[in-house]
Amino acid sequence: MINIDSIKNGIVIDHIKAKKGLEIYDALKLGELDCSVAIITNARSEKMGRKDIIKIDQSIDLDLNILGYIDPNITINIIKNDKRVDKYHVKLPKEIVNVVKCKNPRCITSIEQELDQVFKLTDEEKGIYRCKYCETKISRK
């Protein structure tokens, strides 16, 4: 068993679908932080079989829209003075902004580069989003 030090103050992102940890690391730009970040991949889990975990040794603001879009089953634990003081469950967001780009070459966002890329959740069960401007459909990965 690998031993990863506990964190005194920071964030633990738990219950990440196995092999999605690096995608979350990149999406949250955790490599740009000036603190320790541990990514544990393929950890054993009674609930999930296998899971990834990310430990951030600093308190930061997280974009829950990105996390909910990538994996709506993620749990976020806030750690202060070696104790969990809060726990959040992310959900599939109703709207995502600048998380993915519209693939339609005729969409206004292809021409007007400064426009935000906005997608609205249109089918929660299937995880389908549509572009606010042209209705192009995207599905969660």
The pair of three-digit structure tokens given for residue 21, joined into one six-digit string? 């940890």
Residues 53 and 76 in one domain: yes
Is 1 domain-assigned? no
Instruction: For residues 71 and 121, state if they share a domain.
Output: no
Shared-domain flag, residues 17 and 68: yes
- C-alpha distances in angstroms, 22 versus 40, 98, 117? 10, 19, 23
Are residues 38 and 75 both part of a single domain? yes
Question: Which pair of structure tokens corresponds to residue 45?
Answer: 């889990």
As for how many domains the chain has, the answer is 2
Q: Say whether pTM exceeds 0.85.
A: no
pLDDT-above-70 percentage for the chain: 96
Residue 141, pLDDT score: 58
pLDDT tens digits, residue range 10-26? Answer: 999 999 999 999 999 99
> Containing domain of residue 125, as a range?
95-139
In the chain, the percentage of residues whose pLDDT exceeds 90 is: 58
